[in-house]
Amino acid sequence: MPFAIACLAVSYLFPRFGIASDSSLRVREPGNTQDVALLRIALVRSGSVRQAAIIAGPGARLTDSLDSFLGKGPAEWTFTSEDGQIAVRAASGKLLIKGPAIRVEPGANDDPLALRINSAKPAVHYRGSLDIGPSFANSGNRGSIVSVYNVAPLETYLRGVVASEMAATVPAEALRAQAIASRTFALKARSRYTAKGFDLTDDIDCQAYGGVEAETPSTDAAIRYTRSQVLTRNSELIWADFYDDCGGVTAPGDDANDFPPSVLDAPDKGGSDYCELGAHHRWEAHLRGPEILARLQPTERAQLGHVRDLRTAATDSSGRIRSLEIVGTDGKRMLKGPVFRSILGYTRIMSTLFTVKRIGDEFLISGRGYGHGHGMCQCGAIGMAGEPFRKTCAEILEHYFPGSKIVRLGDIPIGRR
């Protein structure tokens, strides 16, 4: 069965554990009248998890996809996939139940649930519920792989995100800008994975999400201060992208109509870049022809022969490389800038904002910034919030997303899939 179809099948067969309809994504948190989105975050997607253990506190409930009660905490339960079903065992090893999908809900005090993967220690704690189901990521191992999902309200999810994406010690206005951007991004991006049975992942392809261990008082305060605030343009949520360092100018996106546009990351009257103090604001990499060849496919290596030159073929309005030409003794090969960066390594070629200079048998790559460069520069936001600029979170977001508005979720529809 194709992957997308298989995941959709899980949602239809077990609707309680699938992605909810748009109307049911608005729930109320205890003691609060503000409606919030309920998100389903994939914690395990690599197809390599053969066992998951959950340590639950008093009052926690173990249930199946039909909400049938199976057990309560305090307890430790171990989950494995056997013949397409989830087998649940007690700490003693005794088999308790087998079912298509299992959920563990926290007790009355909403104590976080501890999740341990493949017997690894320490466990990571998550607020909200944890769902366990068979993985369809690798059909050859379908009988032995499990997937784990954290189901939590938006504001709860953000507590593990903002602290994972920005240092807790930076100025408060930068953290507030990050909180608004992360909240907006989460709601905008949740439609990406609908066919796969979840809303978001816990990795940087969405946003880094570290659970309870990542939470800090300062980032929690930023989330509370900006509660329910999101960025919109033309009454719709925007793609509130962010990354580490723009190198002094943000990227324009894929085309001229892509929002937000490229902006210089410096005061209007001139001066140093807001992100000047970023750890990767300027960087260099030294490459040799054989190393470049080694990262290409065998057929590409055969077509090129030995690398003679590396040339910039096209750049965007910010100076980032859109395409790069590899000139070999036997032929030429054109690569897109992001592809070149990916095959050489994101921590080696930190951005596509670079120049190439041949020195002897080496190529000197001189670059600026770290990340894709589109949207909010996190180092720039920190610089803007600090001395001598002391910008507010609203001013920071207006700089990186010109023409956008900060509104509260109750004032706009979250959006349909």
**Count of C-beta atoms within a 10 Å radius of residue 300:** 15
Per-residue confidence (pLDDT) for residue 210, from 0 to 100: 94
**What is the b/e burial string over 113-126, where b = at least 16 CB atoms within 10 angstroms of the residue's CB?**
bbbbbeeeeebbbb
Per-residue confidence (pLDDT) for residue 414, from 0 to 100: 55
The whole-angstrom separation of Cα 417 and Cα 406 is 22
Q: Is 88 left (phi over 0), alpha (psi -120 to 50) or beta?
A: beta
- The model's pLDDT over 6-65, given as tens digits with 9 standing for 90+, comes to 333 333 333 444 443 332 333 333 334 344 578 999 996 555 788 999 999 999 999 987
| Residue with token string 């290596």 | 301
| Residue with token string 């009248």 | 33
Quote the percentage of the chain above a pLDDT of 90: 70
The whole-angstrom separation of Cα 175 and Cα 170 is 7
Per-residue confidence (pLDDT) for residue 222, from 0 to 100: 98
276 near 222, Cβ under 8 Å?
no
Positive/negative CA dihedral, 128, 99, 62, 145? negative
Answer yes or no: is pLDDT of 140 > 60.
no
- The model's pLDDT over 150-177, given as tens digits with 9 standing for 90+, comes to 999 999 999 999 999 999 999 999 999 9
Q: Please, which pLDDT band fits residue 365 given cuts at 50, 70 and 90?
A: very high
pTM: 0.88
Per the omega criterion (within 30 degrees of 0), is the bond before 388 cis?
A: yes
Per-residue confidence (pLDDT) for residue 134, from 0 to 100: 79
C-alpha Rg value of the chain to the nearest Å: 24
Per-residue confidence (pLDDT) for residue 145, from 0 to 100: 80
Amino acid at 404: S
For residues 297-302, give the mean pLDDT.
Answer: 90
- The model's pLDDT over 208-261, given as tens digits with 9 standing for 90+, comes to 999 999 999 999 999 999 999 999 999 999 999 999 999 999 999 887 778 999
Q: Please classify residue 227 by burial: count the beta carbons closer than 10 Å to its beta carbon, then call 0-12 exposed, 13-18 middle and 19+ buried.
A: middle
Q: What's 207-255 look like in SS3?
A: CCCCCHHHCCHHHHHHHHHCCCEEEEECCEECCCCEECECCCECCCCCC
For residues 304-319, give the mean pLDDT.
Answer: 95
The whole-angstrom separation of Cα 162 and Cα 180 is 9
The whole-angstrom separation of Cα 374 and Cα 249 is 9
102 near 69, Cβ under 8 Å?
no
Please list the alpha-helical segments (H only) found in 32-167.
154-165
For residues 193-198, give the mean pLDDT.
Answer: 86
Per-residue confidence (pLDDT) for residue 23, from 0 to 100: 29
| Residue with token string 């490459």 | 287
Per-residue confidence (pLDDT) for residue 49, from 0 to 100: 80
- The model's pLDDT over 48-92, given as tens digits with 9 standing for 90+, comes to 788 999 999 999 999 987 778 888 989 999 999 888 889 999 989
188 near 240, Cβ under 8 Å?
yes
What are the two backbone dihedrals, phi and then psi, of residue 230, each rounded to the nearest 5 degrees? -135, 165
241 near 372, Cβ under 8 Å?
yes
Mean pLDDT score of the chain: 87
Per-residue confidence (pLDDT) for residue 36, from 0 to 100: 54
Q: Is 119 left (phi over 0), alpha (psi -120 to 50) or beta?
A: left
